[in-house]
Structure 1
């Protein structure tokens, strides 16, 4: 019996993804564990492994197709002993396989793009020899991307000839088709259409370009998820912000001494590595902030896993330093270099960026003095780090010059009271100003 290969959920939050690249083709034999495709999730490009053994009979979602819903059938596998030629494709590769409502509601005497189409067709014509084949009954086989483009261009997919496997309509077919041809035989329907489709270069819905020259850039899967999650965070999580100024001179001195000692090992600590450790130790000292709001309950974590914000070309990702409070700073430094490098290459495994009990976001390298970070749900807090800079500072009752950094904690007020947040900020400040506690 043929086996349906479905779009996998490669992360707990994944609802759809982009089928970036097929690594197999029709006729290839696969075994359990073989890499079949590369799939772009909201955070990274991941490899999709075969679970069953057999021969690829049909590929139903073309590589490059975006917005493929989890659970959509993307290919059909013939089991051992089955003739590939006898295997029918399972599903049509689209989450909603039925034709578009417009294609069903109005039957126009519109010819197909083929030159041999009839111009004097009757009001209820039978399909000409060249329309797209159907997998069963009247169903049109088309990729999700092709359907979306067809809707934007006002195309009737039943009048488009597919060039994909088994006559499947793909992106190139609808891009090359001209909407105007469908109305040549009946000019009136254009006036009765529900609403004209905007030109491809028009501003997105809700946007106003005010006549200013601009480009329209489609959101990546990652950017869509960032927009969704952070909007949800600001709308549903009551943020409370607490800021402290921290004198960094002692920490910078310790960093210099440790780097001199670690140089033979090829390790070079950054200030960020030390701040990761300081936040983890602070959460251990103030466990009331190492929590997560969960409706009628609250999760109290017994270790501090720190998610560290890393900027990558398509957006932002937060690789995790697990149990950072128990790790030496040299180990944290080594891990962060590896995680940061693989994050920018899209090579992180899901467990390396999903989870974490709190986050740290450092924009000091950009010269940002202070900022308030948005909590990374479902976590309960995030620490925002500003630049260390020379400032007037009172030391021993006298005004002196010191290297000072502003740190702002954003706390989920449903789970963390202001007093507990203040205790965490106090502990963080003390550890940074008396940094020997970080190596104890």
Structure 2
């Protein structure tokens, strides 16, 4: 049976993408792992690999097509012995015009297309089990019963990955619609109030000179996610001033010693380490909201906001509490550089329970950051500036003071716990040598 190749979701927030370039043509033979196309997601341009073997029977979406919805058929893959004549008329419909919701509903509700059973095709309860030739061969080699395997391909088709992950004698997992496994939350009972639409705004500026800027995928995603965050996450804010003089002196000493290794630590590197260690000292705050439960993480995975053309990335430094300052510095430079070049893989900007947004280098004294779901908190960092302070002896002195604001999801972290977390961050930064103990 010809298999539809669907537009993949190459990032957690991707709803549509641009099919930038085909790397195969009709008639080409492909195997699992071969590159099929380059797809521009809401975050970057990524390569799309084949998950099965066969021949490209028909390309449904030409390269350069924009706004192709996830799960829309973009090509048809033929098995051995099949030809282009086996491709149904339904596959010739313009793929880009199919809404994502309709494509998902069809994938859930439509029965598998009828086809003449291949002689070697296995059956269950008298009905053919749809599996790729490669999946059949691997199943035979591993001694697996295809009837006990649930397929993850189009219309429940069993593909290579299903067979490789199955265990001999394993019972079949209950089949579940694709949309159910995505964890999508049910629609709210009442729609949130919307602002004026494009036509209304354009009418306000009739007679004025202006330029319309087309939204790219990243800007659309940033707008949607942050609007959702402000509408659905009950934010509250905690503010502290942190004296940096001890840190700046310690940093200067370390950088002199690290010159030979080509390492130069930034204040942001210390902030990352301080936050990672604080999450360990306040473990109940190292958590995320998961719809109907809270998930507490064991390790400190800290995201850091990076501004890029047209939007922002939040790459995640995993196990940050276990890494040295120089390792964090090197990793952060690499992630930030590849973020600006659009070269980050999805696993590098997904996850974490906590994030940092630092605008101090832009001269911002303080600000309130929006939580990046599903994170439980985000620290907004301002510039370090000279200010008069009253010392412990009551004497007036001058110190370098940095203002920070912790935005907290009240569903995950209560006020006292948030205060405990922020106090730990402050203590780490004002006593930087403790972070190396």
TM-score tier by shorter-chain length is: 0.7 to 0.9
**How many residue pairs get matched?**
336
8 Å contact kept, 1:220–1:314: yes
**CA-CA distance at 1:84 after TM superposition:** 4.9
Identify the residue that residue 205 of structure 1 maps to in structure 2.
199
User: Is the contact made by 2:72 and 2:98 (CA closer than 8 Å) also made in structure 1?
Assistant: no
Q: Which residue of 2 aligns with 1:10?
A: 10
DSSP 3-state at the match of 1:400: strand
Partner of 1:214: 210
1:432 counterpart SS class: helix
1:343 aligns with 2:312: no
Per-residue deviation, 1:80: 3.7
Mapped partners of 1:84, 1:60: distance in 2: 13
Any gaps of 5 or more consecutive residues in structure 2?
A: 100-196
Deviations 1:336-377 (A, max 9, x none): 111111111111111110111100000011000000000001
Contact 2:11 2:43 in 1 (8 A): no
Q: CA RMSD in A?
A: 2.0
Alignment-derived partner of residue 186 in structure 2 = none
**Alpha-carbon separation, structure 2, partners of 1:216 and 1:210:** 13
CA contact (8 A) 1:73 1:92 kept: no
1:283 is aligned, of 279, 284, 294, to 279
Q: 1:88 offset after TM fit, Å?
A: 5.7
| Higher radius of gyration, 1 or 2 | 1
**Contact kept? 1:42, 1:225, Cα under 8 Å:** yes
Q: Is the 8 A contact 1:55 1:84 kept in 2?
A: no
Q: d(CA) in 2 for partners of 1:327 and 1:291?
A: 20
Match of 2:95 in 1: 94
CA distance in 1, matches of 2:208, 2:80: 60
- Aligned twin of 2:295: 299
Deviation at 1:270, TM superposition (A): 1.0
Match status 1:317 vs 2:306: no
Distance 2:317 2:277 in 1: 13
- In the TM superposition, what whole-angstrom CA distance separates every residue of 1:24-67 from its partner, at most 9, and x where no partner exists? 22233322211111112222221101122233232211222222
The whole-number CA distance in structure 1 between the counterparts of 2:94 and 2:38 is 17
Describe the SS at the equivalent of 1:386.
strand
Match of 1:416 in 2: 413
> Which residue matches 1:183?
none
What is the 5 A alignment of 1:137-286? Answer: 204-207=198-201, 208-286=204-282
Instruction: Specify every segment of 5 or more residues in structure 1 that has no aligned partner in the other structure, as ranges.
Output: 99-202
- The answer for the alignment partner of 1:157 in structure 2 is none
* TM-score, scaled to structure 1: 0.72
Using structure 2 for the length normalisation, give the TM-score: 0.73
| Cα distance in 2, alignment partners of residues 290 and 94 from structure 1 | 43
Shift of 1:395: 2.5
CA deviations on 1:174-224 (whole Å, 9 max, x unpaired) are xxxxxxxxxxxxxxxxxxxxxxxxxxxxx9334232432111112111111
* Rounded Cα–Cα distance in structure 2 between residues aligned with 1:210 and 1:380: 44
